[in-house]
Chain A
Amino acid sequence: MSLKKLLTAALAFFAMQLAEAGVAIEHWVTPAGARVYFVASRVLPMLDVQVDFAAGSMFDPAGKSGLAALTRAALDLGAGSRDESEIAEQLADLGATLAGGADTDRASISLRTLSALDKRGEALDVLRAVLQAPRFDAAIVAREQARTIASLKDAATRPDAIAGKAFWAAMYPKHPYGRQATPESVATLSREDLIAFHARYYNAANATITLVGDLSRAEAEEIAELLAAGLPQGEAAVLPAPPQKVRGSVTKIAHPASQAHVYIGLPAVERGNPDYFPLLVGNYTLGGGGFVSRLMQEVREKRGYAYSVYSYFSPLRQAGPFQIGLQTKGSQARAASRLARDVLEGFLKVGPSEEELAAAKANLSGSFPLRLDSNKKLLDNVAALGFYGLPLDYLEQYQAKVQAVTVDQVKQAFFRHVKPVDLMTVTVAGE
């Protein structure tokens, strides 16, 4: 389960980088120390609130992998005076929903509610209780623990999950990003672990609050303070040492599935790295541009090897992966994998052509308005921008930064971050 979440998270980060300019983001810090980001959007009578904490799986203590995820999972299953049924019933009656989860970096909880005062007041009261006074009832923790263990065991039978897990372990052998929850590690967790993890990381200094919707600035301030004021006093999370460079490797894992799953990649860049825009624009040509990318052309269109083949950079708090992925029938796994590497190495040598670069810019910059045409997309983008402390004008600068990229910058950025000798290849396939 955690692995699926990881992969989903990686894709979400990718989507997030394709954002739009011209969004009026208001920013302030509450007296308790939480950073707040607010976008008024008053056309629809609804409100989205997301609270992010630096409380993802990278902060799992050694031997306790899965703690961040379990803490987040149990957060809204009973809080303050409400048990889990009361929370669920009250939200259902209001037509409100809580969502969110934990990835490598973040634990998130988001609320969607109608903005009418009688609805939003109650819904925010539930959110406040969940953030500030989760119960972590022993019976519920035990039940969620059992469900998590079952999901992990199930994931261990699925080739995509097996490949993903092995890939991250290979990329980050001595870093928390490479450690993943196992049935055994989750079995060791106790209610006390959850309480301690919550007390350490779910504090105001470690929080960003994002509000998008039908609110005035004054109302947004009031809500943010309400949410932040009752959080524990505490300190921002302390990051581990950055991942070390490791030499490339090849891992093969046997599996009876009809398709082989192939992952190729390495740890590349962190959020805010100046090489990011050249990598983003370059990768559009390589494997990020959907049907028009080189990988798609060679692997799918010309040879029919795969339904899906892609590449992306997923910048995280610390160097996140560059990844190529494909699935193909077992008998052609070697050929497809070789081909993907050849396409990558060809790209590393010469970079995109001027024509390809122009096409990449046209799409990445032209598709701008599509990235923010709903409150949900706004929330995702602004919350990520806030969590990672990117400049407030990041979205406004986006198109200009894309447009400024040159072929030479792409080549140099790829040269710095994607060295063929460092690539990990993981194949899960039949013998």
Chain B
Amino acid sequence: MNPRWAGVLLLIAVIGVLALLPMLVNNYWLRIATGALMWAGLACSWNILGGYAGYINFGHSAFFGLGAYVTALLMGDKLAWPFFATVPAGMVVTALFAIIIGAPTLRLRGAYFAIATWAFAEVLIQFASVMDFTGGIGGIGLPPFLDERFFYFAMFAAAALTYLITWALFERSRFGLKVKALRDHELAAEAMGINTSLVKLQTFVLSAVTASVFGAIFAYWVTFINPKSVFGGDITDQMVVMVLLGGLGSLWGPALGGVGLFVVNRLIWMYWGDTAFYIAILGAAIVLVVLFMPNGIAGLFSKRAGNSGAVLEKAVDKLVGGDQGEPN
């Protein structure tokens, strides 16, 4: 059979199983599946900027947390908005923040951007911890809604949409080509007439907004959030590891890395409880992947995967004699 059709059949089978899952398993496993879908989606959301545009975001939890806090605050006793009205509100707030942070820092090389995003997430932790309206360190509760199937399907829909948008925009459109071109050689991309600042900002906003949707569903799902649980650095750490593990800049890599790592997380949790050991494992995983498997799991399947992205870079290297100047 043609490998292309095999891929399509596999995809249909996966979607079919995921759609029927609530009828097949009990609530315990459904919760785990919901979490796996969330992490697969979040990893994809991080990969939109990190993988396709080549800008590492070390504060992606900021956008996840913004979505969660907007939903939590709007659904509170005073306002009592319906859940589905809070999601777009969270998306708008997140997009605004992404523009404010992204516009100045995306003009610079990756290092400053990494610092700025990391600092932004820490600002939000501190801000949410000292302010009264966010409930301070104690956090904030949401009206409980105990329908596991609702949250499963909400996460499923959000993750599926995230992957669909990523596929359509970055694998099948001119926009994706622009983004990959600027990742591989920003100067050359600019010379071709691509408005790199605008394209980067659009990519960043898309990446941030998708994360906020998962944050909103997560807040409603767990019914209680605090600054550490939604803005915490561990959330970003996990996204970074999942994407690196799965394969930076590949469409399905983040799904593999996300589900794989989440399962490991749950196993550790089952056997040892809530432990700092997991943080050490995350760190070791990042180090090992960078050293020994820089193209991730996806890179193991296609020999070209890691290098195909850098075609333009190599071509330009040849033209200008390999000297692109110093970074930064």
Partners in one complex: no
